Chain A
Amino acid sequence: MSAVDLGMPSLPHAPRGVGHLRGDRSFPDAARESLRDGQLRANLGHATSTIRAKRKAVVDEVPDWAELREAGRAIKAATMARLDEHLVALEEQVTARGGTVHWARDAEEANEIVIRLVQATGTDEVVKVKSMATQEIGLNEALEAAGIAAHETDLAELIVQLGEDTPSHILVPAIHKNRAEIREIFLRTMPQFQEQGVDADLTDEPRRLAMAARAHLRERFLRARVAISGANFAVAETGTLAVVESEGNGRMCLTLPRTLITVMGIEKVVPTWRDLEVFLQLLPRSSTGERMNPYTSLWAGVTPGDGPQEFHLVLVDNGRTAVLADEVGRAALHCIRCSACLNVCPVYERAGGHAYGSVYPGPIGAVLSPQLTGVEDNASLPYASSLCGACYDVCPVAIDIPSILVHLRAEHVEAQERTTPEAVAFRALAKAMSTPRLWRLAQRAAGLGRLLSRGKPTLPAALPPPASKWTRTRDLPTPPRETFTQQWVRERGR
């Protein structure tokens, strides 16, 4: 059931021309290319299998995981049911503690707000904590166009930024790069190696690479006057913001600069402080496969003498209210960005994150991106799944991703104005299946397909078009010698 079906005024989707929610190619076209990249497939296979095992071990040791998961699901559902009230409460609390709240209808408006805030401080560079929301709205590009340099400080984001690449995973954006490739990027781009060039004393050992990043960013942290972050959670009741991280780059950004600007999607609010006791258990175990991530920072407004003395919170819609209007699709807003669904997805593991064309890849991306943009702008994504259900099983807030995928496929099919060969074929099939005489005729005709098979269990993939569109990616079994009905008649009579 879509918003339009209910006769509701349709709510605006994320605008085109800004941000990173749309690919320039369809999923199958982009995936075909990444499937040919052997290095990428090796990197992805290694990374996803490693993290799957870690997640499983730390989830299995929690005896009340099922109860936590159910509570997480219920909290998110309850939050969405009164989202306006929670946002107003959050605004009140943040303001009462010395922060300023800004509202942004879409990516463009959010970028304008952030640029204006940075310019007001008189600086032309900012440090950034890894944030999906700011990637979604294309903040770095907007800042650059305004003459402001944005330095990513998360190690993987730094690798992606220095390599002039794009992220391919929610949690580990440089998962598609291996250590040798990372070393090469650092040697090429970090000023500290410029004089030494390829002779630099930098091996591809992860520890050495991490220390190079530490040295590269240390001075930037100490001189930064403005930081930009996202938020994992925002507590309406108390005005508390939370950023969950590992490296300490987040703490540097959230603590040292004078001004902090936090950009968050409106769905990140949770009603009460107590709700964090659920999510701070669900998120780290699902995400990095740790009992707890090394650092979590929590703050409410401004604390004199400790941390930033100016705090701005930018609340972004950018298509989220359109998602909220869809009663089935709405659950995609429950996502806490752990990325467990990416790591278990057989499609993601082979195609990689770039094939999804959006900053949100994998199963959750396949349901979130088309809803944020309108399904017509990401029409191939609801089909980028085998519907195996592994994503639903691991989701810490029990988002039924397969059901939403099917729902979006239906919405896409219904929106088709031109009749497709597939629609014609299925209409004919429906007619045949509801008319016994036609059905028997069709079965007899299908039996002729045996002639094409030459004794093999499947028909050749190279059927003539338009049938080839179907058989290119699917095996069509050779029709059996006799149908079930024929066999029944033969063995048992009428």
Chain B
Amino acid sequence: MSAREEILGRIRTALGEHRAPVPDIVRGYRTADGRPTTELLDVLVDRLEDYKATVVRCLADEVAGTVATALQAALGAHSHGDVVVAPGLPAEWRPDGAVEDDGRPAVALAEHAATVTGVTVAVADTGTLVLDGSPRCGRRALSLLPDCLVCVVTSDQVVGGVPEGLARLDPRAPLTLISGPSATSDIELQRVEGVHGPRTLVVVLVT
């Protein structure tokens, strides 16, 4: 007998011939909330800053400039050429001189100092940004290897809680949920930001 058949057979034995009906699942938790967008944005900013991310708010026509300024603050004045952006990032969000991810071997992305991507949804209550591998978000390695990550979030992408966030996602896409910069608490439970992922996370919030 194959291992598959044997394990499935064991499960059937364990559950017995006459199976109990499947117990009901009561989903009494919150799945939506009526908070206005302005309040959600404030919560999102509060959570992100709590994780030591930098948050900058701007208007729709100020994105490229805001991104450039934020990059300058994070990297220093000289390193504009080191910025790589997701292939589907809108032209009006791109800082001058940034190169586009052209699908080169993923490890080559480590040579860049910073990345700019969009997100697909942001969850206010947990300060979570979700990237889904779409052209605007880029492949997973893009938001991982460069040491500084800039994410542009538009206010229509912000939802209140985790259930609303997951409901907007395609479960078959390669998804990355990001809540603050990379961190560890492995040494005496003291939080240290920035281990293997980007050590700096900048969120540009378009309102």
Contacts and interface: CB of A to CB of B under 8 A. Distances in A.
B99 interface: no
Given A292-B127, A295-B177, 8 more contacts: A103-B3, A155-B184, A246-B183, A291-B47, A298-B174, A303-B133, A321-B10, A324-B11
A3 B26 CA distance: 30
Nearest to A296: B177
A247 B189 contact: no
Contacts of B126: 281, 284, 291-292
Nearest to A213: B195
A228 interface: no
B197 A64 contact: no
Contacts of A175: 189
B11 A321 contact: yes
A238 B106 contact: no
B14 interface: yes
A328 interface: no
A109 B185 CA distance: 34
A322 B172 CA distance: 33
A280 B106 contact: no
Interface in B1-24: 2-4, 6-8, 10-16, 19-24
A297 interface: yes
B61 interface: no
Interface of B: 2-4, 6-8, 10-16, 19-31, 47, 51, 103, 106-107, 110, 123, 125-128, 133, 139-141, 144, 161-163, 166-167, 171-190, 192, 194-198
A195 B47 CA distance: 43
Nearest to B166: A277
Contacts of B23: 74, 77-78, 81
A240 interface: yes
Given A303-B133, A325-B14, A207 B192 contact: yes
A335 interface: no
B162 A277 contact: yes
A274 B24 CA distance: 15
A438 B172 CA distance: 72
Interface residues of A, number: 100
Contacts of A235: 171
Nearest to B126: A292
Contacts of B197: 247-248, 251, 294-295
Contacts of A47: 188-189
Contact of A78 (B25, B174, B188): B25
Contacts of A81: 15, 19-23
A107 to B, nearest CB: 13
A319 B192 CA distance: 38
B191 to A, nearest CB: 8
A71 B26 contact: yes
A133 interface: no
A321 B7 contact: yes
A291 B125 contact: yes
Contact of B188 (A46, A104, A295, A306): A46
Contacts of A84: 8, 11-12, 15
B181 A240 contact: no
Interface in A293-325: 293-301, 303, 305-307, 315, 317, 321-322, 324-325
A292 B177 contact: yes
Interface in A324-343: 324-325
A444 to B, nearest CB: 52
Contact of B178 (A109, A276, A284, A294): A294
A298 B125 contact: no
A256 interface: yes
A285 to B, nearest CB: 9
B53 to A, nearest CB: 10
In this complex, the member of B3, B173, B194 whose beta carbon has the largest number of chain A beta carbons within 10 angstroms is B3
